[in-house]
Amino acid sequence: MGHHKKGAVDVAVLQTWIVPIFFGVVVGTVVASFAKPLLFKMVFIAVSLFLAVRLLAGKDKWRLGEKLPGVVSLTGYGLAIGLSSSLMGIGGGLLANLVLSLYGIPIHAAIATASGVGLIVSIPGAFGYVVAGWDQAGLPPLSLGYVSIIGFALLTPLSLMTVRYGVNIAHRLEKRQMEIALSVYLFFVSARFIASIYN
């Protein structure tokens, strides 16, 4: 909503993505209940590092097209974003940002629009992981399936308190500053995922 108030969200893209992302998330939560996480971590690392290098190098010419594709292709991207987001345990903003930036969408608009993907992914994803992990043994205390009530209770208020600052900072940064900031963040997250493989 913060990005939308600043006029940076492409609402038409989000409307196109709502249904395919939803179905992608549902399929992803089913697959995740029996799939090994290593493959998905590797995919996440590869995607993150690619986007980080592209942003850091300022390679605006690394594109799939000069404008967004039609509804059929966007629907396919939505399915892929929903599926991979639920498998990798991320909000989907990273993958949506990658798709939008590869079609020449300016960084501020790409980040703003991608932020809306998190809502589309999180609600069916949370319910899906509750169902997928409902009868699993050895889960931490106060868990609903694979969803930690403690984690939710701690993270949600903090996220709601700080998100407005993130939105304001994002829109104050110049294009190049934004690219560098996002690339540094992606390198950090990739490093954390790489470390988790060896732990």
Give the domain ranges of the chain.
Answer: 11-194
Give dist(CA 155, CA 149) in Å, integer. Answer: 10
Residue 65's Cβ-count burial label (10 Å; 0-12, 13-18, 19+) is exposed
Q: Find the radius of gyration of the CA atoms of the chain.
A: 17
pLDDT in tens, 90-135: 667 778 878 888 888 887 788 888 888 888 888 888 888 888 778 8
Residue 57: which pLDDT band, with cuts at 50, 70 and 90?
A: confident
Task: Name residue 100's amino acid.
Answer: L
**pLDDT above 80 for 3:** no
137 contacts 35 by C-beta, under 8 angstroms:
no
**pLDDT above 90 for 190:** no
pLDDT value of position 5: 75
pLDDT value of position 172: 79
Q: What percent of the chain has pLDDT over 90?
A: 5
92 contacts 118 by C-beta, under 8 angstroms:
yes
Tokens at 33, concatenated: 């209940």
Of the CA atoms within 13 Å of residue 136, those in its CB half-sphere come to 17
